[in-house]
């Protein structure tokens, strides 16, 4: 996925989707429904990549 070629509107939508997914992941951890613990780190990195691209524009 190339973030440089996506539009700003798509980046904002992607950012809100990733944040919602991270929120669900955190609630799953507290309820011990989540087994893949490394997923949270990946989600945070993806959010950081999107925010970096938005700030560069």
pLDDT per position as a tens digit, 5-31: 889 999 999 999 999 999 988 888 777
Angle at which helices 8-30 and 39-56 pack, to 10 degrees? Answer: 160
**Average pLDDT, integer, range 35-44:** 85
Percentage of the chain beyond pLDDT 70 is 95
Q: How does the average pLDDT of the chain come out, rounded?
A: 88
Whether 51 shows a pLDDT value over 90: the answer reads: yes
Contacts of 8 (CB under 8 A, 6+ apart): 54, 57
Element (H, E) at 45: helix 39-56
Q: Among all chains, which residue has been given the structure tokens 């992941």?
A: 25
Predicted pLDDT at 44? 94
Contacts of 51 (CB under 8 A, 6+ apart): 15
Cβ neighbours around 28 below 10 Å, total: 15
Whether 52 shows a pLDDT value over 90: the answer reads: yes
């Amino acid at each position: 996925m190339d973030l440089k070629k996506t539009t700003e509107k798509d980046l904002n939508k992607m950012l809100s989707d990733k944040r919602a997914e991270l929120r669900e992941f955190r609630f799953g951890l507290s309820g011990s429904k989540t087994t893949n613990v490394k997923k949270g780190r990946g989600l945070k990195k993806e959010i950081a990549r999107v925010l970096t691209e938005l700030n560069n524009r």
